[in-house]
């Protein structure tokens, strides 16, 4: 008992910011919060009250006051999101249904970098390390966004925006300890000519879940991360950002092997999945005025995961250009991008990919226009994004009509129609890593019963044709928002969607 009191006291003493007190978003009124600018909806700065989308914003001050320590826990606060925890290191995160361990209809961005994995077109949440004290806000859209962000932005988009380095010119130490979780985080920032520079490091350990009976549970989670960020202003027009992170750790897993015998024999083994991730991002923004800006962004990331089921490395290199300007009553955004993805997977006795290595190329282009038909009363937005890669698709287009009631700016409504697309994953038939099933009756008997591959996933150069997508839903929705008083805001968003899912299933092969 004395030991716990000492640990708790030390955590309280060391969780102090060694710097001058700073003002944040915690003291803003509702009107001021609604006037915040976001860039997720139209790829340009836009007030929350002017965004034609089911948008939610979680500020960093909110997350810190509540005591959130991970991105999935933060998304529990977002309206319309379903978040569940499978074990100590796995989450189910989804928007507007389709929840599951391998949910793949949500696009997640961290400072403009997509963190989805092409392995199953979802997110490995246990490998995403973000120091919550550095988060400025979370921008969350419920609904499609393929016309601006491309495929997989089907049911929602999450954009994690971290604080500029110039706003953290201090030393920060955080130490937390408890019966389930221990964390040590360090951050040091300093001003540099024209901007700021910061370095941070974090170590997190989470213990195993409590077992319901005598059966052991091995789902512990250990992660380390080091990172940096630099922001430099070159005159009033140019802004440079450079950031990078290295993450590593391990997560505990239990794998059940089923031996096809008479009777069948199941054997459970416990393994640690080793994780390694690296990312570097650079962004240059040239600003002429509030309505004219050019932005170029490039990043590289590496993800390596070694476990009993599969061992693979995935590389992504991406470059994106965006130009926005105003032409009369038109606010135009156009741009293009290129992404190269190459991977290499080592086969195991339980799973193998064919071919083991693969390279894909993605070319994209977008055009978006916000037209103000009646000043301060009626506007229309229309846009499309086209992509061409190994999985040909029509990523999406969107037409939106937005109206504002002129006597009362606190009341507005909008409606939209938005077809979008979800590309097929490298593995079309994902299996939970905790359970592996043996050969079923739909598979042919192997030539040598003594040597079997329990699960073999086969992938081909082109999983689908240009007319067949893994999912191509059409969304139609309307929204009405009102602010009855200075402390309350209400939103109603009825919607209808129609999806055409197509999933390819291939027989497993025996080795």
pLDDT, one tens digit per residue, over 457-496 is 444 344 443 333 444 555 566 666 666 555 666 666 666 6
Per the model's pLDDT, the better-predicted residue between 448 and 176 turns out to be 176
List CB contacts of 205: < 8 A, sequence separation 6 or more. 181, 182, 183, 220, 221, 222
Average pLDDT estimate for 493-504: 59
Written out in words, the top-level CATH class of the domain with range 2-19+26-498 is: mainly beta
Per the model's pLDDT, the better-predicted residue between 369 and 10 turns out to be 369
Per the model's pLDDT, the better-predicted residue between 454 and 412 turns out to be 412
Per the model's pLDDT, the better-predicted residue between 26 and 441 turns out to be 26
The answer to whether residues 162 and 135 touch, using CB atoms and an 8 Å cutoff, is yes
Average pLDDT estimate for 68-97: 86
pLDDT at 26: 47
H or E segment to which residue 411 belongs: strand 411-419
pLDDT at 214: 65
pLDDT at 425: 66
Q: What is the pLDDT of residues 57-73, one digit of tens each?
A: 888 888 888 888 889 98
Q: What is the pLDDT of residues 381-408, one digit of tens each?
A: 888 888 887 665 544 455 555 554 444 5
Q: What is the pLDDT of residues 312-334, one digit of tens each?
A: 899 999 999 999 999 888 889 99
Instruction: Return d(Cα 300, Cα 285) in angstroms, integer.
Output: 19
Q: DSSP secondary structure string, 430-494?
A: ---TTB-----TTSPPPS-TTS--S------S-SS-TT--SB--EEEEEEEEEEEETTEEEEE--
Q: What is the pLDDT of residues 186-232, one digit of tens each?
A: 999 999 998 999 999 999 998 888 777 666 678 888 999 999 999 99
User: Which contacts (CB < 8 Å, 24+ apart) does range 74-83 have?
Assistant: 74/132, 74/135, 74/138, 75/138, 75/140, 75/158, 78/138, 78/140, 78/142, 79/142, 80/54, 80/56, 80/142, 80/156, 80/493, 81/140, 81/142, 81/156
pLDDT at 300: 97
Least confident of 37-46, 448-457, 473-482: 448-457
Q: What is the pLDDT of residues 260-306, one digit of tens each?
A: 555 666 677 778 889 999 999 999 999 888 788 999 999 999 999 88
Least confident of 49-53, 63-67, 151-155, 424-428: 424-428
**Which residues sit opposite 482 in a β-bridge?**
411, 490
Nearest of 392, 394, 395, 396 to residue 382 by alpha carbon: 396
10 Å Cβ neighbour count for 118? 21
Q: Taking 50 as the threshold, does the pLDDT of residue 18 lie above it?
A: no
| Separation in Å, CA 509 to CA 77, 273, 332, 438 | 44, 25, 51, 12
Report phi then psi at 108, rounded to 5. -120, 125
Q: DSSP secondary structure string, 120-170?
A: TTB--GGG----GGGEEEEEEEES--HHHH-TT-SSEEEEEEEPPGGG--S
Average pLDDT estimate for 38-61: 77
pLDDT at 210: 76
Q: What is the pLDDT of residues 236-268, one digit of tens each?
A: 889 999 999 999 999 888 777 666 555 666 677
């Amino acid at each position: 008992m004395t030991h716990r009191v000492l640990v708790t006291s030390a955590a309280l003493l060391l969780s102090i910011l060694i710097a001058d007190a700073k003002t944040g978003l915690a003291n803003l009124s509702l009107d001021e919060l609604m006037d915040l600018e976001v860039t997720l909806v139209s790829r340009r700065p836009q007030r929350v009250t002017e965004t034609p989308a089911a948008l939610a914003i979680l500020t960093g001050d909110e997350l810190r006051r509540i005591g959130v320590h991970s991105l999935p826990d933060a998304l529990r606060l977002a309206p319309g999101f379903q978040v569940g925890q499978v074990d100590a290191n796995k989450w189910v995160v989804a928007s507007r249904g389709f929840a599951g361990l391998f949910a793949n209809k949500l696009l997640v961005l961290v400072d403009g970098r997509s963190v989805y994995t092409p392995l199953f077109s979802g997110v490995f949440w246990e490998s995403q390390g973000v120091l919550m004290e550095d988060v400025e806000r979370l921008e969350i859209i419920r609904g499609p966004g393929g016309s601006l962000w491309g495929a997989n932005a089907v049911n929602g988009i999450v954009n994690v925006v971290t604080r500029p380095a110039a706003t953290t010119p201090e030393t920060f130490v955080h130490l937390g300890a408890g019966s389930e979780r221990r964390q040590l985080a360090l951050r040091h920032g300093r001003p540099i000519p024209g901007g700021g520079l910061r370095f941070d490091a974090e170590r997190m350990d989470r213990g195993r879940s409590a077992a319901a009976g005598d059966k052991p549970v091995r789902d512990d989670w250990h992660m380390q991360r080091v990172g940096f960020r630099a922001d430099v202003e070159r005159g009033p027009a140019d802004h440079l950002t450079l950031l990078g992170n290295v993450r590593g750790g391990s997560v505990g897993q239990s794998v059940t092997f089923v031996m096809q015998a008479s009777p069948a024999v199941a054997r459970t083994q416990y393994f640690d999945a080793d994780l390694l991730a690296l990312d570097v991002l650079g962004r240059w923004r040239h600003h002429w005025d509030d309505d004219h800006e050019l932005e170029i962004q490039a990043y590289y990331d590496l993800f390596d995961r070694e476990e009993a089921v599969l061992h693979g490395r995935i590389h992504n290199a991406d470059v994106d250009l965006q130009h926005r300007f105003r032409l009369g009553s038109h606010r135009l955004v156009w741009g293009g991008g290129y992404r190269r993805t190459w991977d290499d997977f080592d086969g195991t006795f339980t799973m193998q990919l064919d071919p083991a290595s693969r390279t894909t190329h993605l070319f994209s282009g977008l055009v978006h226009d916000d037209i103000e038909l009646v000043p301060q009363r009626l506007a229309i937005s229309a846009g499309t994004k086209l992509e061409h890669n190994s999985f040909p698709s029509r990523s999406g287009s969107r037409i939106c009509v937005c109206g504002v009631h002129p006597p009362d700016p606190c009341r507005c409504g909008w409606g939209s129609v938005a077809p979008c697309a979800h590309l097929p994953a490298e593995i079309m038939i994902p299996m939970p890593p905790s359970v592996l099933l043996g050969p079923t009756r739909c598979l042919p008997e192997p030539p040598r019963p003594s040597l079997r591959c329990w699960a073999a996933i086969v992938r081909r150069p082109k999983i689908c044709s240009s007319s067949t997508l893994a999912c191509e839903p059409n969304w139609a929705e309307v929204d009405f928002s009102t602010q009855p008083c200075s402390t309350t805001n209400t939103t109603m968003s009825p919607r209808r969607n129609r999806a055409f899912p197509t999933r390819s299933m291939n027989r497993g092969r025996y080795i």
